[in-house]
Structure 1
């Protein structure tokens, strides 16, 4: 097979150009879209899955949780592995794992088998997501990284937005296993593009830290399970024990990795104030977004009495707003500091959330849609420059660790936001829980905007 001039045959110096860049970004987009679409697509089919596999509704949620948990706990170890075996190769392996696990999902005959297959699928998705931003860094020249990250953000928003719609269309003509069968031809296309177009990049030397990887997975996994149990007020003693075990593993991990040249948990990168502030800004931004994303359907369906179809349509302005921000942010992400752009974006997101919190008692469709669109536009304006700030703050040989932390900020923030909603629903079950979630979403987004703006003072101090 004839290769592109700057693809797998030679390391990339400062990005690709022309057709080579377009083909490589298409390969990244297809793989990312595959991972995110399938995460979102399974939610819609949970009632059907529970019925066909003779499982309870609460147990069926593990079809979603298993994917999310496996993806989160494996992100950083896989990012470190990608630095050693090559980002393109790990992405290719991830697509293969994703396709094989999709076959297992489609043929599952019980909920435990399906949940186990979703664990494997989550690992495949983490292989893809842990290195996608690192690949963008090598596909685009340094001066245009923001453009590539903005385009990647559009793909992420599109995958999340189309998940429920695609699921509804598939379930109209077929049963839930087809949600996973569809991954095989789509995955084959993504895999072919990944082998053909993804660039070869420099690798780091040394063996993978197995002990550090185990500690990392224990720290994230136990903390999430313990926190989730506390949020749902389930078995408080066990939940506290898991949370303490996760925190203890995290402390041991930080102490162990502090002096490592290629740490699993990138302590070296977090020592850089610019990277640390960007990471925390991203984390808080996704906490805020999930307070909205998880609670808003309950507001629309339970509080306002809208149908499921209307609820789905009124969530759509969120990803549409993200995509509408892309043309502008692509032009300015490499020219204006993240301290300015992300602060504007998060402030706009906070405004949208506060406006949703202040909805009238009987709002029109337009009242809800334009407020949601404002919040989504702000979120789309915040992400690319903030992600760019994380990537450019890291040296080239730490691109894998930086890319992994971009995804950790997203998934850990989403996880904590979902736990927060569960806790609010438990604490304020009969006292306006959904409204309080929207208020919290606005407050956290405003805090993230303030955190982002602090970079302006960091830059001023550095210049002085």
Structure 2
């Protein structure tokens, strides 16, 4: 295990004036604009598949890569980009990421070929990876400990709505003005976000002296190998050549952990300080958010196929069936966030995961032959309630006890595990769909494919049931 930085390496206390709560909420608003954009782009492109095939002459595999490459380049650098914020300043890294994201969005919309679009999407993913952990780090630094739940409630609204709004907004934009505008729309919002973050988000003190570049290289190769294998294995039919890539990734993961344990002896700072995992709530929170990522990554593909292929709905009609998720999640998250500052967040998290379990089990029951289509609205509503109760308590509880000098690293780990969980969830459910359609009716196979999600969410429920509740003293600021 690595030790906490020595007194000589510990960053000096912030000498800037304390940040008022009004300033903190303005900063959060500025950050959430960009956060919404990058999460929206994970799902919004899927509805443009037919148009991309027609207008760019793209194959189905190429169109799949338009989404896959974004997720790959988003997930892989997260362990590094969180620590970059500690080293060079969260606001600076956020602004660099938003500039990259905005310019690459313009390039995506202007792409004359699918090959150029794929390259632009990869760059867009890098921008998203730079942005994401900075948002959580800044929240936990500018809001006092007793107000972080409310702030994370707003963060939860953005996370929930963005992840669910993609298919709905994408269908409207593509139908009305063309696929290019699902990317062009990012440009004005990106410019607004850059200006607002520059003006409203404080330039917080640096919390890390240096980066361990050996760990950076090993982490990128490790994450690339593991995420690529899990993401592409099912689509490629698990060819023999892909297994050595996974083995290399797993072996390097062991090397990476060893590098973190020996960072102090090598006269450097760990990219992922292992003493983070001595914080019980952080460890439990990363496990539970991984299961949540698994669920969100796995549910929507079979649900959309069930509605569109099984019941012959259009993409827009299918998207409308998901609207209750956004309504319940968006309305509950701020309320739950405020409650998590006052009561035991373990209770709220257990409510959230219980609703998630009930929802996914409900999908398994209603997504099959002979069940009226309207019945799917019941698990859809339960999913929205579960979302509303999970994100804020889980996030605020996981990071509340993390030392400030580890905040960027912790945010990177938290977001990386969520993204990897999403990739694994999509892969596992995809494999279950393929197996199921070979043995049973299509609609029933879509429901049965979600059984693994139920099992994984049980792990999430057990994890949050172990959260420790530590009544906190009120503070003036944590900047």
TM-score past 0.5 threshold = yes
1:357-411 deviation digits (Å, cap 9, x = unpaired): 2227444454221321112211220121111122113101111011112211221
1:76-225 equivalence runs, <5 A: 76-225=79-228
2:140–2:148 CA contact under 8 A, matched in 1:
yes
Stretch deviating more after TM superposition (92-101 or 286-295): 286-295
Closer, same or farther: CA 390–12 of 1 in aligned 2, 3 Å: farther
Aligned to 2:358: 351
SS at match of 1:265: coil
Kept in 2: contact 1:226–1:241 (CA 8 A): no
Of residues 311, 324, 349, the one that matches 1:317 is 324
Higher alpha-carbon deviation: 228-237 or 93-102? 228-237
The residue aligned with 2:277 is 270
Give the Cα separation in 2 of the matches to 1:258 and 1:334: 34
Residue 241 and residue 15 in structure 1: after superposition, are their counterparts in 2 closer, same or farther (change >3 A)?
A: farther
Aligned length: 450
Distance of 1:307 and 1:29 partners within structure 2: 31
Change (3 A) 1:446 1:15: farther
- Residues 98 and 398 of structure 1, relative CA distance in 2, 3 Å threshold: same
Task: Look up the match of 1:61.
Answer: 64
Question: Within 2, Cα distance between the matches of 1:217 and 1:205?
Answer: 20
In the alignment, what sits opposite 1:398?
406
Whole-Å Cα distance in 1 between the matches of residues 59 and 333 of structure 2?
41
Alpha-carbon deviation of 1:15? 6.9
Residues 362 and 378, structure 2, Cα contact 8 Å, conserved in 1? no
Q: For the Cα contact (< 8 Å) 2:141–2:404, is it kept in 1?
A: no
Whether the 8 Å CA contact 2:140–2:399 is kept in 1: the answer is yes
Q: Which of residues 240, 244, 247 in structure 2 aligns to 1:244?
A: 247
Tell me if the contact between 2:106 and 2:184 (Cα under 8 Å) persists in the aligned partners. yes
The superposition leaves residues 391-448 of structure 1 with CA deviations (integer Å, 9 ceiling, x where unpaired) of 1131011110111122112211111100111211232232353122222222222221
Distance (whole Å) between structure 1 residues aligned to residue 270 and residue 455 of structure 2: 34
1:329 pairs with 336, 342, 360, which one? 336
Contact 1:291–1:440 under 8 Å retained in 2: no
Question: Aligned match of 1:281 in 267, 284, 288?
Answer: 288
Match of 1:3 in 2: none
Whether contact under 8 Å (2:107, 2:120) holds in the other structure is yes
Give yes or no for contact 1:353–1:438 (8 Å, CA) kept in 2. yes
- The alignment's TM-score, normalised by the length of structure 2, stands at 0.88
Does structure 1 residue 427 correspond to structure 2 residue 435?
yes
1:444 aligns with 2:466: no
Question: 1:165-210, CA deviations, whole angstroms, 9 ceiling, x for partnerless residues?
Answer: 3323322332322222222211111110010001222212422222
**Residues 324 and 377 of structure 1 are in contact (CA less than 8 Å); yes or no, is this contact kept in structure 2?**
no
* Cα distance in 1, alignment partners of residues 432 and 374 from structure 2: 27
Is the CA contact (8 Å cut-off) linking 1:101 and 1:121 kept in structure 2? yes
Q: Which has the higher contact order (CA 8 A, sep 6+)?
A: 2
SS at match of 2:437: coil
Instruction: Write the distance in 2 (CA, Å) between the matches of 1:457 and 1:88.
Output: 31
Are the aligned partners of 1:337 and 1:385 in contact in 2 as well (CA < 8 Å)? Answer: no
Question: Any idea what SS the aligned residue of 1:54 has?
Answer: coil
Post-superposition Cα deviations, 1:301-355, rounded to whole Å, max 9, x if no partner, equal 2334433332111122223222132143122112233332212210111011112
Extract unaligned runs of 5+ from structure 1.
1-9, 460-464
SS of corresponding position for 1:237: coil
Q: Distance in 1 between matches of 2:111 and 2:316?
A: 29
What CA distance in whole angstroms lies between the structure 2 residues aligned with 1:117 and 1:265? 29
Q: What RMSD over aligned residues (CA atoms) do the two structures have, in Å?
A: 2.3
The corresponding residue for 1:416 is 424
- Deviation of residue 285 (structure 1)? 1.9
CA distance in 2, matches of 1:15, 1:299: 53
Given the superposition, is the C-alpha separation of residues 312 and 281 from structure 1 closer, same or farther in structure 2, using an over 3 Å criterion?
same
Separation (CA, whole Å) in 2 of partners of 1:46 and 1:402: 36
Q: Matched residues in 2 for 1:14 and 1:321: separation?
A: 39
Give the stretch that moved more between structures: 138-147 or 331-340: 331-340
